[in-house]
A and B are shown apart, each in its own frame.
Chain A
Amino acid sequence: MTRRITLVWRALIGLLLFVASACGKPPTPTQQVTLRLGVALTPQELASFQPAMQSLGRAHPEWKIILETVPQQGAAEKINAELAGNTLPDVLRLGGLSAQQWIRQNAFLDLSARIQASALDLNDFYSGPLDQFRWQGTLWGLPDTAAPDVVFYNKAMFRAAGLACPSDDWTYEDMRRAAIRLTLDRNGRHAGDPGFDPESIQQWGWSGGWSFFWQRPLVQALGGELCANDDCTQMTFTSPATLEAARWWASLVAEQHAGLYDPFGGSQTGVPGDAFIAGKAAMGYTGFFAVGQLNEIGSLDYDVVQPFRGVDGHRYTTLSTNGYVISATTQHPDAAWALLQALVSPEFLAETWGTPGHSVPARRSVASSAINPAHPPAHQQAIVAALDYATVFMPYTASAYEVNTRTADLFQKMMKGDLSAEEAMRQIEATANQILARDR
């Protein structure tokens, strides 16, 4: 008899515990939405991003977020294949320069209506990165990070030449004067010296010239303009102001030898890759990624300033940006939009991108989170300041890449002095407009 009662007691206690535990759990959502998020990150960025995604998942139990990672080198092939096979993730993080070609294939959702209906403050986003995702007047994505090109300079080289380091007030003429003094041959003579030997240059003053087709700010700063229409599918290279700019750069590189006609190929420096990062040039325009790379290598004493003032007193520079888009074939557009908003929220950006130092958030409220006084360069505010006026690379449609490949030799000939600026500009304009016509 006692045994039976013990059994019943045990059962009752067990039932009570079970009911208690069931009451203790939060109510599980009746439908959990599975969202696929596709990103292309380096392992270091993933190390910040994955924990952030996990806490985002915990904060939103109604979502099941599946993170799909892809190496940056293969991202284009993957997205093209997924687009063709209709297996794009719900939310995709894109490198900005390739965004336009897929936007124009109607691969993504138009976000303007949703943005207006939401509490999102578009003014908090810098206008340059936003432009990357605009087409036909509406927004097709939102940027999360941006990296403007600023002037990097080698402090040791300036010290050795006895020159004052660049400041935020420098113009292109200041740069030209300094670059000539900083271009040194084997015997230590600089480019303005009568005994200078252009065949044995060891160090260049300026890392580049006008050596490929995308360097629109270099022309704008000197008073010219390349784009003849809004999305730059019609270009002009032969206006007087642009020709003047072309001649300015050609004389810097071909006549004064103070710039490189092959700044990335390595035929002049002997090493491939950016000449400034390789320690062969005293100054150059580079992006935020160079900060991480230079600090990792640790052998260059460098700092940054804002891009030089142009002839009209304004500054011009390019930026590269990354951002999120929602696939047009997603089954859960509302949940995807909610996820996207979370991913571009100021807190998320500061915590995942700014503070770890991977990239500069594209929102004014948290852009300075990327500034870390603990490591060089000293003048990091210049990078954040440049976001105010930096513009995206243009043209940015698919055939722009083809124009680049087809005109690369023309630019180089012009910078070497083998082709006159007029002739080079004429041929480049003809090629560019013929190929860009496809995207008009």
Chain B
Amino acid sequence: MKRPRIRFWPATAEARRGRLARRRECWFYLLISPWLVGLILFQSGPILGALLLSFIHWPLPQAPRFVGLAQLGALVADRLFWRALANSVYYAAGSIAPSMALGLALALAFRPERRATHLLRAVVFLPVILPGVATAFVWGWMFNPRYGAINALLAAVGVRGPGWLFDEAWAMPALILMSLWSAGSSMLVYLAALRSVPAELYEAAALDGAGRWSAFRHITWPLLSPATSLLLTINMIAAMQVFTPTYALTRGGPNNATLTLPLCTYFNAFVWGRLGYASAQALALFALILGLTLLQMRVSRGKVFYMGGEG
């Protein structure tokens, strides 16, 4: 049974030009005006300024000087920049999919609305809202190679745990593992999305004799595809901009193993006094995230199924 498309968006160009459609367009601009006003007033100036600063060499206290693409060119030759870029991509590649999958599993497990599941959801969500100042202590001890919980659990199954945050090769995997604890936010999004899956579909499937896995594959997963696509986008942007764990726990160490691009940009801007260079790095990061996001949206375009039809 094909569901009719949402008719707020007219099907033909002719209909679009109709008075009703024009009226709806006016409403569109009216309703997004809070965001537009904020964009114009508070965001456009600073963002454009920050990105344009990458074409200016401004070694405080000397006067600024326009240098065009020279700074961006300097980026290409900078060993530390490429290390930071590689680290950022490494983190993103390793952390997005597992934490989303875990979030989905948690959402399915804690789907029933009972007091007990509410409490368990709060427990799972808690690492997401842990104040940044506590991060260093809690995670530092969890990942401590000699006395921490992680290696203790590994030892219980007979595996000798690595040096984690103290070991150049294992520091980034430690951060990626840490990102699994933030699966609570993906869980929350999936929980909200699961609300909109009608129960009748499951009943119909059961009557047809479908098993649990089949129901998941043919009902739940397709209907969750909008949420999955949304989470992919959000998590990709967030993972490429990860800052708090690297700042609070490792400061980019050991030996720049966890120096991500946002952290490198921060150091350049606030510690090393190179504002123009920091902006050049920000521009590079922006371009990278934009490219990855466009790629992700193109790949998922054909795969997202909306219950109300394509909007």
Check whether chain A touches chain B (CB < 8 angstroms): yes
A residues near B (Cβ < 8 Å) are: 76-77, 80, 101, 104-106, 262, 265-267, 270-272, 398-399, 401-402, 405-406, 408-409, 412, 438
A76 to B147, CA, bound (A): 34
Given contacts A267-B254, A401-B267, contact A406 B80 (CB under 8 A): yes
Does B127 make an interface contact (CB < 8 A)?
Answer: no
Contact segment of B104-112, B210-218, B268-276, B296-304: B268-276
Interface readout for B164-180 with A: 1 if CB under 8 Å, 0 if not? 01110000000000000
Given contacts A106-B61, A408-B253, contact A101 B80 (CB under 8 A): no
Pick from B140, B255, B256, B259: contact of A272, CB under 8 Å: B140
Q: Which residue of A lies closest to B146 (CB)?
A: A270
Do residues A265 and B166 form an inter-chain contact, with CB atoms below 8 A?
yes
Given contacts A266-B166, A267-B166, A270-B144, contact A405 B267 (CB under 8 A): yes
Size of chain B's interface in residues, with CB distance under 8 A? Answer: 26
259-300 of chain B: CB within 8 A of chain A: 259, 267-268, 270-274
Q: Which residue of B lies closest to A435 (CB)?
A: B272
Q: Which residues of B contact A267 (CB under 8 A)?
A: 163, 166-167, 254
Do residues B147 and A398 form an inter-chain contact, with CB atoms below 8 A?
no
Pick from B252, B253, B254, B272: contact of A399, CB under 8 Å: B272
Q: Which residue of A lies closest to B253 (CB)?
A: A265
Q: Which residues of B contact A409 (CB under 8 A)?
A: 255-256
Do residues A270 and B145 form an inter-chain contact, with CB atoms below 8 A?
yes
A402 to B80, CA, bound (A): 10
B272 to chain A, nearest CB (A): 4
Does B60 make an interface contact (CB < 8 A)?
Answer: yes
A271 to B137, CA, bound (A): 11
Does B198 make an interface contact (CB < 8 A)?
Answer: no
Given contacts A105-B60, A270-B144, A270-B145, contact A402 B253 (CB under 8 A): no
Q: Which residues of A contact B268 (CB under 8 A)?
A: 402
Interface readout for B242-262 with A: 1 if CB under 8 Å, 0 if not? 000000000011111001000
24 contacts between A and B (CB under 8 A): A77-B270, A80-B270, A101-B60, A101-B273, A104-B60, A104-B61, A106-B61, A262-B166, A262-B254, A265-B253, A265-B254, A266-B165, A267-B254, A270-B145, A270-B146, A272-B165, A398-B273, A399-B273, A401-B271, A402-B267, A402-B274, A405-B80, A408-B253, A408-B256
B225 to chain A, nearest CB (A): 41
A438 to B275, CA, bound (A): 13
Pick from A271, A401, A408: contact of B272, CB under 8 Å: A401
Q: Which residue of B lies closest to A412 (CB)?
A: B255
A342 to B270, CA, bound (A): 31
A273 to chain B, nearest CB (A): 10
Do residues A405 and B252 form an inter-chain contact, with CB atoms below 8 A?
yes
A349 to B32, CA, bound (A): 58
Do residues A408 and B255 form an inter-chain contact, with CB atoms below 8 A?
yes
Most buried by A among B80, B270, B271: B271
Q: Which residues of A contact B167 (CB under 8 A)?
A: 267
Q: Which residue of B lies closest to A398 (CB)?
A: B273
Q: Which residues of B contact A272 (CB under 8 A)?
A: 140, 165-166
Does B64 make an interface contact (CB < 8 A)?
Answer: no
Q: Which residues of B contact A402 (CB under 8 A)?
A: 267-268, 271-272, 274
Q: Which residues of B contact A106 (CB under 8 A)?
A: 61
Does B18 make an interface contact (CB < 8 A)?
Answer: no
